[in-house]
Each structure stands twice: as C-alpha cells, then as structure tokens.
Structure 1
C-alpha cells in the first residue's frame, strides 16, 4: 500500500511507464490475501489443523488410505513451492525493472533524503508478495488435501463394493461418513471459494478492459504485473 501511494510518475513519462497496471494488480492481490488470512484464522481458531485435515478420523480408514494420505501430505508443500518459486523469479525480474525506473516519494520526516528508499521498498514489496501469495495458496493446498483424502476414501469404498466379504452395513456406514465429511468440507471452504471467485472475476475483467481498451504497446516492462499475477492464480 505504501509503495503504491508513494510512487510518483514524472510528467514526461511515456505511455508505457511501468506503473500502468501496478495499482490494478495490488488491490486484488491484497483482497485475496485478506480473504485467505481470515479463512485460516477462522479455521485454526474453530477446528485446529488435525480436525481441519481429518487426521483424527484416519484411524477408521484402511492402511492403504492412510499411506496414500501420508504421501499427499508430504507432497502438499512441495506443490506450494513449485508454484511460488517460478512466479517469484518473474516477480523479482519485473520489480528490478520497476524500481530502477520509478521514483519513491516519502515525507522528509518519515524518511531522510540520504536513505536509499528504492532498494528498501524493493525488498519490502517482494516480501509482501511472497506473504500474500503464500497465504492464498496455503488455503488452496489445504482444500486440495481434504479433497484428496475423500478421493482416497471413494477408492476404498469402490473396493468394498468389489469385495464379496463386505456387508451392506459396512458399506452404508462408510458412505455416510464420506458424505458427512464432504458436507463439512463444502461448508468450511464455501466463503473462501465464492469470495475469491468474485474477486478474481472482477479483477480479470478490469485487466481485460485496460489491456484491450488502450492502444499503447503491451510488454513486460509496462504490464509485467499482470503476467506475475496470472502465474500463481
């Protein structure tokens, strides 16, 4: 927020100045991070991590399902890193161009003139991007984990149908348990999914309008923020 408000555009700046789409990107990213933060806050306050990921209920599952879920847990944060790292490289490249071109103007009583403002703001903006994107993707990873568990349980239920030794009562009990946990998952993530859907849809239409509504040349220099936002989202 400080970065967006303190950037000054020279009067002689060309139409492709890199600030063109910066504020358009910063607002949706911050809104998504805010939604994700309050979602995580509510989750951990009400449920805790074990209940959120249905870890306590795994004792009722077969060894095959427990092993499969353990593998998914191990891979979850690798998925998060695989999404974040390439996007971070592109973000660093764009912000190097951005802060080597723009001028940051802060009040003298806040920041004396002998302090290198641009490098400091560069580091803070990158840290802010990692935090906001990471918080948003963390909720997505948690949602994916709960869905993977239910997929494993559906596969186990399918094997119960195939096995002649399984009674109707066992199959019905397992079906009811899966249905109940799917309902819990749907209700827990409903606010996050709908809010993010609305935010991303509105911001994408806004981006599309700006990109197609003006005839100036679009390149990584002046619209790289849109590229970086599109990579993780």
Structure 2
C-alpha cells in the first residue's frame, strides 16, 4: 500500500511493498536513486527542523496551551515589563541632556506593539498549518526532487539575511547604551552594567521577533518564486495548454493562500510602523532641546529595525506579484513564437500537436523541394488540407485563450483585494510623504513662529 503522505513524484519507481516481484536489475538500477532521494529528504527535514527550533526559541511555536502561556509570558516579561521597570525605577531626574523624558517609553511601546503583531499573526499560522504547509514545501504542494536544493538554499539564505540585519543594529544599540552608561552615572558600575544588559536583552528579543516575522514572509514568497521561475521554463518543455492552465491555477491558489494568511500581518505592520514613525517624528521635531546620539539614539535604532522589516515584507510581496504579472508577457512571447515559426523547422520545439506538425512539415517542405525560382509559381506549392488548417487554428485559439486568461488573471500578493505592486508602493510613498509634510508643518513651522 502506498504511503498517503507521498505523491507520485516523491515515490520511487518500485515500492518495496508492491505485490509484483521486480527483476533484480530493476532494483539495482533504482537503488542509487532511492538513496539519493532519501539523502535529499533528510537534508530538507534537517533544515526545516533547525528553522522550527529557532522559531520555537523565539516563541512562535504555540501549538499547545503550555507553549502558548510560556511564549506570551516571556514576551511580556522580557519585551515589556523589563524595559519599563528599568526606565521607571532608575530614571535619572538630573540628566535631562542625556535622556528625553517619556521618549523611551514611546519607543518601548512601539517596538512591543510591532513585535506583538508579528508574534500573534505568525504563531497563529504556524499553529494552524505547521511548518511544511506554512512554507508550501509539504509533499502535496511541490515537495519535488528538482526543488529541494533550492528550498534548502532559500531557508539558509533567510538565516543569513536575519544575521546581516540583526548584527549591525545590535552593535549600534550596544554602542549607544555603552556611551549612555559612561555619561549617566548610577550608584555603582554593577548597576550600570545590569541596566545596559537589560536594555540590550529586551531590545534584541523584541527586534529579532519583528525581523524574523518579516523574513519568514520573505522566505514564503521566495519559495514561490522558485515555482514561478520553473513555470517560465515549462513553456520551453511542454506544449499542452491544459498543462499550463493546471500549473498556473495551482500557483494562483498558493498565492491566494499566502495573501489570506499574511494580509492581516502586512496591514497591521504597516499601520504600527506608520504610527510609530509619525509619533517619533512629531516628538523629535517638536522637542525644543538639543538631540544627540546619547538621548536620541534609540530613535535611530528603532526606526532602522521597523523600516527594514517593512521593506523586507514589501520587497518580497512586490517581487512575487511582478513575477506573476510577468507570466502574461512570457506566454504572449511563446504564443507569438509558436505562431510565427509555423513555417520554420524549429516549430517542433514549441508544439507537438498533430495538426501543427503537419502544417509545419508542409511548409518546411518548400525549402527542401523547391528552388527559389520554383517558389515564384504557386502551381507547385501543395496547400494544406482543411483538416490540417482546422487543427492548426484550433491550436492557435487554445493558445490565444490561454494568453487572455493570464492577462486577466495575473495574480500576486493582495491585501484585502489590493495587489502589492508598484502602484501600491507609489500610494504608500505619497501617504508617508503627506504625513511627514503634515508633521513638519505642525512642529517646525509653528514652533518657529
């Protein structure tokens, strides 16, 4: 009996439990292939286990009541209570030039809100679908041999992306806290070091959750980009329009599922980041004192993390949307090449239908049987029959219908029906520019008058 968790492409050619007794040579032929598939499966499983362990460490794994309680308890203690207590208890009342009163609480609140949104949305999806279905690498949705290496590379690349953005921000945060510790003296050095570690630990935990959520969405989109690139190469390997339609419907289904799972996260992320930047800009431009790296360094660090997170998310969404929209262009080019090369010997590379092949052979025979002078007379040219023309036109209309289908069903990542593409990015840019102009008008202009 076949394994219910495997598709035809994942099974070896001869199942060990098959009732048919295979030949010895057949088993020997397929044994290296089975070992190769097993090794590849082990590598992908090991990579997914590492990713799942990392997500569990951050609190994204909330599959049971205990893990749910521990995750949110750790988040509230490390991300919210710890920095607030340090700011309230060890507040320096005589250090106005080294800290801006109330600004740190605003930064802690904005970072905690963004991390809470990330933790809430992604933990819900991981609890509901699991890591394989969440990433669309399970055996029912593309766990195929030719994609496994690409899956592993993309997952490892996501870890590298997280490290590349987390380490510089962590270094900047640590330098800022060290400089502040040197200027803001407490009762003892041990107390100053404990305060520094508390701030750095809380910021690292919250910022890592925020960036991890954006990079996970980036990973999901990049894994689908692999399938879209393979779909572009499918036009060179296949000629059946129904195969193209079936594969495109599957890709669109995956994009709709991704959009449905992440639309709340993307919308809340945009709202929280916009509100946070709005309040930060309002506070900074409305402050009458001098802002330095010591008292305003947290603004820069928190802004970098928030902006980087939303840029990663928008970049991933627009990339997959543009790949989906570009399929119509690829299909139009394929349709034009097949149609225009019907009198070329390369026609067999694009179409395998009987009618098209007969028409191509009929027209190609002109170049083989007749000289240039003979071609000037139409008496020697054998015209295709009505059956051949009907078959050729039928193939043409199928391709034309397929191109029109792609043009009207491009797909992409959507947020409640709005496709995340260049048009939406332009809208976001003008919204942010309007908010910045409004804040500057309310603070700089009115304060100077």
Cα distance change, pair 213–90 in 1 and its aligned pair in 2 (3 A): same
Deviations 1:64-118 (A, max 9, x none): x4332321111111110110000000100111233444477xxxxxxxx999433
Q: With structure 2 as the length reference, what TM-score do the two structures score? A: 0.46
5 Å-filtered alignment, 1:78-93, equals 78-93=160-175
Shift of 1:215: 3.3
- Secondary structure of 1:86's counterpart equals helix
Tell me which structure has the larger Cα radius of gyration: 2
Q: Of the candidates 224, 227, 236, which is equivalent to residue 150 of structure 1?
A: 224
> Aligned partners of 1:46, 1:182: CA distance in 2, in Å?
18
Q: With structure 1 as the length reference, what TM-score do the two structures score? A: 0.85
> Aligned partners of 1:114, 1:85: CA distance in 2, in Å?
29
- The answer to whether residue 222 in structure 2 is matched with residue 222 in structure 1 is no
5 Å-filtered alignment, 1:69-84, equals 69-84=151-166
- The answer to whether residue 263 in structure 2 is matched with residue 190 in structure 1 is yes
1:90/1:228 contact within 8 Å kept: yes
Shift of 1:145: 0.9
- The answer to whether residue 262 in structure 2 is matched with residue 178 in structure 1 is no
- The answer to whether residue 18 in structure 2 is matched with residue 18 in structure 1 is no
Gaps of 5+ in 2: 1-83, 307-449
Count of aligned pairs between the two proteins: 220
Partner of residue 273, structure 2: 200
Shift of 1:158: 1.5
Which structure has more relative contact order (CA 8 Å, sep 6+)? It is 1
- The answer to whether residue 109 in structure 2 is matched with residue 36 in structure 1 is no
Q: Of the candidates 124, 138, 142, which is equivalent to residue 58 of structure 1?
A: 142
> Aligned partners of 1:158, 1:198: CA distance in 2, in Å?
36
> Aligned partners of 2:133, 2:234: CA distance in 1, in Å?
26
- The answer to whether residue 210 in structure 2 is matched with residue 136 in structure 1 is yes
Deviations 1:195-221 (A, max 9, x none): 111111011011111121123222211
Deviations 1:128-169 (A, max 9, x none): 111111111111111011111222211111222233x33112
Shift of 1:27: 0.8
